[in-house]
């Protein structure tokens, strides 16, 4: 493979934005028939490099050559026409249009100015068959799962005779089975000679599929390596630039011991709580100082459980007791009054208010709990905000900066701080580490451990089993919108066993309590 | 693993998109049935034809509005533009210009204004609501600027178009306006279903950001829909002047709201991306049949039309919300 000529080379690329040097003298090359992972922390310049390549941004310095010819695209469409197609993390399709139309819109075949729909549908079916996807091409794209939409976006991308396919974090909202499906397609396209540029935060996925890795750090090239010559730990070191102590700490942190919370008093007791069409009735007890991990595939009902516990959705049956007293969690305000906090999965849409400052975002929940007629004095605000900016090492440490200017990991920390300020007794974290870089991830994980040591109960939801296993005292497994098992996280529990439970749904007997 | 499990339940695929239109069709048939059962003369075919004759201009304008609303926009200027077109025609004819140049000039004003409004909306990224509100005031102001009194039309071509009847031997007839309206409807339905322009309109209504990233000409399409709406308003204005044989500065006030109501009752979603020209035809007919029913009753004040339309509009917006056609 390495002897073939690069289909794409970027040489000496520099790009600055006012006040920021996003890329500095970066070289990058892509060979035909390889999957090439572009790695780096948030803010390392991965997105900028892709945007420079596809013409979303202009280039300050440096050259791009495609098949030996120098090119400068003026936008994604021109890039796609030249054979460089991009599929973004947020699927960019029109949900109201049919699958077939989404694949072809903008370059539909035409007969005397009219679109021959029969031919469009036929070609769409052919193309999807190549991706082994058998779906109704006349149904609107919005009626399918994100994973299928992702595949449709890929089908659209490869239809233009793509030679370079850029996948920008395609897996961040897919579950394990869907990722496997995507990888199968990626391998197939690779074998057809397409060069694939793959950006992801999931290290194990890189080692599952990539042939070579290019690492960026702070807008500069660290190096390009064949996958075999760069073990995982070395990769992380290169991305972070130092042997990160938190990371070490994270690796060595002993698993939470079950016995530690044996004596903890039940904080929240849920019996037969359910909501039709959302989650089947379930019972669950969460003790003070306990971390309960919620595992399960995407769409298995994890988020729905969290929303019921927070009163964001109203349960239509069952009861909740907090400190033994029966309480109705009919809306978030009541939940906050009971000391329950909720960091939502979708931090852009449901959590962070991008135009408000770090400080304003942080005090939001506390202010809501106090009632809007009793504003928190500014001195008190500044005190609190400073404390949490330090405690969570939020960067840049500027409380008045609009949150939109922060990286994903730091936004997540602001959201965490918002709830920590209210000093909740139960904190629900829904995918707190998704899509953020490994340093921030380790810090958030460390924080969860500290919080539970301090007596706070945490309900920790994550698609990454490793993480759930590392942090939780107890693991609750969801499957098909049912709570199928509760496992004490002792020595007998490992990723395989949890996977099996998720897959089979039978683990009730010895583990439930 | 050969293929992914598909989450969309099969019942949700087809009928969901068509449900609003089917609801409108049912409503129309029920209202017609009520009319027929209550009033003997209602079953006369001419009653149906009259609905078309009386609402031909409304139908044409509603077709233009459908384009705009499908992109998620709105055009408040259409009533005033129609009035201005009628006014300009009457004024030019009065000043002695022959019919053909008058037609050409009158038909150019609407699309030009629409094009300018589309440019303002696209290039300066201003809310369509406020741009077309400005257009509405401008066009209405131009009407009174031309004349603050009504100008009668006596031109031969106009009176012919107004009075010519296309009918069957039994005496049922439609006017030329109805044929023009049908032609506009057919062309628009074809454009929306079978041309790139039409599909881009739906794509922009579905998700403008995605449309941009998929490389669709978002700006051009957006400007085009306001131009089309302006053209339809101009054609509607001409039909209006055939109908009234005059240009009056205060005619068609508030017509834009009737038009929007008709489009929404016809099943087009106000946030864009979903709807059909056929639905708009039904929406206009619903409005027309309500008027006819109230006329037949004789004892009801014509304002009852507005009350019923208000109720229906509310019901249809609720329906759209309930079947969740907005997707995600």
A95 vs A329, which has greater pLDDT? A95
Contact A181 B1 (CB under 8 A): yes
Write down the pLDDT at residue A86: 87
Overall average pLDDT of the A475-497 stretch:
82
Residues of B whose CB is below 8 A from A132: 2-3
Contact B209 A77 (CB under 8 A): no
Instruction: State the DSSP string of B174-193.
Output: E-HHHHHHHHHHHHHHHHHH
Residue for token digits 């397609």? A185
Q: What number of CA atoms fall less than 13 Å from residue A50's CA on the CB side?
A: 27
Contact B328 A142 (CB under 8 A): yes
Nearest to A135 among B6, B194, B216 (CB): B6
Q: CB of B273 within 8 Å of any CB in chain A?
A: yes
The reply to whether A8-250 and A265-339+424-513 are identical in fold is yes
Chain B residue closest in CA terms to A129: B3
Edge-to-edge order in the sheet of strand A20-30? A20-30, A8-17, A61-66, A69-71
Residue for token digits 């919108």? A481
Classify residue A485 as exposed, middle or buried by CB count within 10 Å of its CB (0-12, 13-18, 19+). buried
Q: Percentage of residues in chain B with pLDDT exceeding 70?
A: 94
Q: How far apart are CA A32 and CA A4, in angstroms?
A: 7
pLDDT single digits (tens) B158-195: 999 988 888 888 888 889 999 999 999 999 999 999 99
Nearest to B274 among A80, A96, A102 (CB): A96
Backbone φ and ψ of A285, nearest 5°:
-120, 130
**pTM given for the model:** 0.72
CA distances (Å), origin A366, targets A370, A389, B209, B310:
6, 16, 35, 43
Q: CB of B2 within 8 Å of any CB in chain A?
A: yes
Question: With 60 as the cut, is the pLDDT of residue A481 above it?
Answer: yes
Confidence of residue B2 (pLDDT cuts 50, 70, 90): very low
Write down the pLDDT at residue B8: 43
Nearest to A95 among B4, B195, B328 (CB): B328
Chain A residue closest in CA terms to B2: A132
Residue partners of B109: CB distance under 8 A and separation at least 6: B81, B84, B85, B88, B234
- Domain ranges, ordered by start, for chain A: 8-250, 265-339+424-513, 353-422
When the pLDDT of each residue in chain A is averaged and rounded to a whole number, the result is: 82
Structural domains of chain B sorted by starting position, each given as residue range(s) with its CATH number in brackets: 18-322 (1.10.3470)
Write down the pLDDT at residue A338: 86
Contact A108 B199 (CB under 8 A): yes
CB atoms within 10 A of CB A386: 13
Residues of A whose CB is below 8 A from B274: 96
Question: With 60 as the cut, is the pLDDT of residue A246 above it?
Answer: no
Q: CB of B206 within 8 Å of any CB in chain A?
A: yes
Q: How far apart are CA A444 and CA B185, in angstroms?
A: 60
> How many beta-carbon pairs below 8 A join chains A and B?
106
Write down the pLDDT at residue B303: 83
**CATH topology classification for A8-250:** Rossmann fold (3.40.50)
Q: What number of CA atoms fall less than 13 Å from residue A84's CA on the CB side?
A: 25
Residues of B whose CB is below 8 A from A133: 3-4
Distance of CA A449 to the CA centre of its chain: 21
CB B266 within 8 A of CB B142: no
CB A475 within 8 A of CB A493: yes
The CATH class that applies to domain A265-339+424-513 reads: alpha beta
Residue for token digits 């994890």? A302
Nearest to B6 among A76, A148, A184 (CB): A148
pLDDT single digits (tens) A153-190: 888 888 767 889 999 888 766 777 778 888 888 898 89
How wide is the angle at C-alpha B164 spanned by C-alphas B158 and B170, nearest 5°? 165
Contact B4 A178 (CB under 8 A): yes
Residue partners of B156: CB distance under 8 A and separation at least 6: B99
Chain B residue closest in CA terms to A117: B194
Edge-to-edge order in the sheet of strand A84-87? A84-87, A164-168, A195-199, A35-39, A212-217, A220-226
Q: CB of B100 within 8 Å of any CB in chain A?
A: no
CB B97 within 8 A of CB B217: no
Instruction: State the DSSP string of A151-217.
Output: HHHHHHHHHTT-SEEEEESTTTT--HHHHHHHHHHHHHHHHTT-EEEEE-S-HHHHHHH-SEEEEEE
pLDDT single digits (tens) B79-137: 999 999 999 999 999 999 999 999 999 999 999 999 999 999 999 999 999 999 999 99
Confidence of residue B327 (pLDDT cuts 50, 70, 90): very low
Overall average pLDDT of the B254-280 stretch:
92
How would you classify the pairing of strands A266-275 and A317-322? antiparallel
Cα torsion angle, B198, B201, B202, B207, sign: positive
Write down the pLDDT at residue A313: 85
Q: Percentage of residues in chain A with pLDDT exceeding 90?
A: 15
Q: CB of B89 within 8 Å of any CB in chain A?
A: no
Q: How far apart are CA A447 and CA A451, in angstroms?
A: 6
- Chain A closest-CA separation from residue B251 CA (Å): 38
CB A338 within 8 A of CB A327: yes
pLDDT single digits (tens) B138-154: 999 999 999 999 999 99
CA distances (Å), origin A81, targets A85, A86, A151, A162, A355:
8, 11, 20, 8, 36
A124 vs A302, which has greater pLDDT? A124
């Amino acid at each position: 493979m390495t002897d073939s000529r690069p289909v794409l080379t970027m040489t000496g690329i520099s790009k600055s934005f006012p006040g920021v040097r996003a890329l500095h003298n970066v070289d990058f090359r892509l060979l035909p028939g390889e999957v090439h992972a572009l790695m780096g922390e948030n803010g390392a310049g991965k997105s900028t490099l892709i945007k420079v390549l596809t013409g979303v941004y202009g280039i300050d310095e440096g050259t791009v050559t495609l098949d030996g010819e120098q090119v400068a695209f003026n936008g994604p469409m021109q890039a796609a026409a030249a054979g460089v197609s991009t599929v973004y993390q947020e699927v960019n399709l029109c949900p109201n249009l049919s699958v077939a139309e989404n694949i072809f819109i903008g370059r539909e075949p035409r007969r005397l100015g009219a679109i021959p729909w029969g031919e469009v549908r036929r070609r769409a079916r052919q193309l999807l068959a190549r991706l082994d996807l058998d779906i109704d091409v006349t149904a609107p794209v919005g009626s399918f799962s994100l994973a299928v939409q992702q595949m449709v976006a890929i089908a659209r991308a490869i239809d233009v005779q793509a030679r370079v396919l850029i996948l920008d974090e395609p897996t961040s909202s897919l579950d394990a089975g869907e990722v496997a499906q995507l990888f199968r397609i990626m391998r197939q396209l690779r074998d057809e000679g397409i060069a694939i540029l793959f950006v992801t935060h999931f290290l194990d996925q890189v080692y599952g599929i990539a042939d070579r890795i290019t690492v960026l750090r702070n807008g500069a090239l660290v190096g390009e390596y064949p996958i075999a010559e760069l073990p995982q730990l070395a990769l992380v070191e290169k991305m972070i630039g130092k042997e990160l102590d938190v990371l070490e700490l994270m690796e060595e942190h002993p698993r939470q011991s079950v016995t530690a919370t044996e004596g903890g008093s039940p904080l929240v007791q849920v019996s037969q709580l359910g909501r039709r069409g959302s989650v089947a009735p379930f019972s669950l007890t969460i003790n003070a100082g306990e971390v309960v991990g919620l595992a399960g595939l995407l769409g298995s009902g994890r988020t729905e459980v969290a929303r019921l516990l927070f009163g964001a959705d109203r349960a239509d049956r069952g009861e909740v007791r907090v400190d033994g007293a029966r309480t109705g969690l009919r809306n978030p305000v009541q939940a906050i009054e009971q000391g329950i906090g909720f960091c939502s999965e979708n931090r852009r849409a449901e959590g962070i208010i991008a135009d408000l400052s770090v400080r304003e975002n942080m005090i939001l929940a506390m202010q809501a709990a106090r009632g809007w007629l009793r504003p928190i004095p500014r001195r008190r605000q500044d005190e609190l905000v400073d404390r949490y900016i330090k405690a969570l090492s939020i960067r840049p440490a500027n409380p008045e900066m609009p949150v939109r200017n922060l990286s994903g990991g730091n936004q997540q920390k602001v959201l965490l701080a918002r709830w920590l300020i209210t000093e909740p007794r139960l904190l629900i974290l829904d995918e707190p580490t998704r899509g953020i870089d490994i340093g921030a991830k380790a810090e958030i994980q460390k924080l969860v451990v500290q919080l539970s040591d301090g007596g706070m109960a945490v309900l920790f939801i994550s698609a990454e089993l490793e993480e759930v296993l590392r942090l939780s005292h107890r693991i609750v497994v969801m499957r098909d919108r049912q709570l199928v098992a509760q496992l004490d996280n002792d020595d007998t529990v490992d990723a395989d066993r949890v996977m099996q439970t998720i897959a089979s749904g039978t683990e009730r007997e010895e583990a439930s309590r | 693993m050969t293929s992914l499990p598909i989450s969309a339940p099969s019942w949700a695929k087809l009928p969901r998109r068509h449900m609003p239109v089917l609801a409108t069709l049912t409503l129309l048939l029920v209202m017609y049935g009520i009319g027929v059962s209550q009033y003997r003369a209602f079953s006369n075919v001419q009653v149906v034809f009259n609905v078309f004759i009386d609402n031909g201009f409304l139908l044409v304008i509603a077709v233009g509005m459908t384009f705009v609303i499908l992109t998620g926009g709105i055009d408040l200027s259409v009533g005033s533009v129609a009035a201005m077109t009628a006014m300009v025609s009457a004024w030019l004819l009065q000043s002695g210009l022959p019919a053909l140049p008058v037609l050409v000039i009158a038909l150019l004003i609407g699309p030009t204004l629409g094009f300018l409004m589309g440019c303002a909306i696209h290039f300066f990224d201003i809310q369509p609501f406020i741009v077309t509100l400005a257009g509405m005031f401008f066009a209405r102001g131009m009407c009174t600027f031309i004349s603050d009194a009504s100008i009668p039309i006596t031109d031969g071509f106009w009176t012919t178009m107004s009075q010519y009847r296309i009918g069957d031997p039994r005496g049922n007839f439609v006017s030329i306006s109805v044929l023009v309206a049908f032609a506009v409807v057919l062309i628009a339905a074809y454009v929306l279903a079978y041309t790139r322009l039409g599909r881009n309109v739906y794509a922009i209504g579905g998700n403008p950001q995605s449309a941009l990233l998929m490389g669709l000409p978002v700006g051009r399409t957006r400007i085009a829909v306001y131009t089309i709406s302006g053209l339809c308003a101009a054609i509607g204005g001409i039909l209006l002047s055939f109908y009234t044989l005059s240009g009056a500065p205060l005619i068609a006030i508030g017509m834009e709201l009737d038009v929007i109501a008709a489009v929404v009752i016809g099943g087009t979603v106000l946030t864009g991306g979903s709807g059909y020209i056929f639905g708009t035809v039904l929406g206009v007919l619903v409005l027309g049949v309500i008027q006819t029913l109230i006329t037949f009753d004789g004892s009801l004040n014509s304002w009852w039309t507005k009350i019923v339309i208000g109720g229906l509009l509310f019901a249809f917006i609720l329906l759209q919300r309930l079947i969740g056609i907005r997707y995600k």
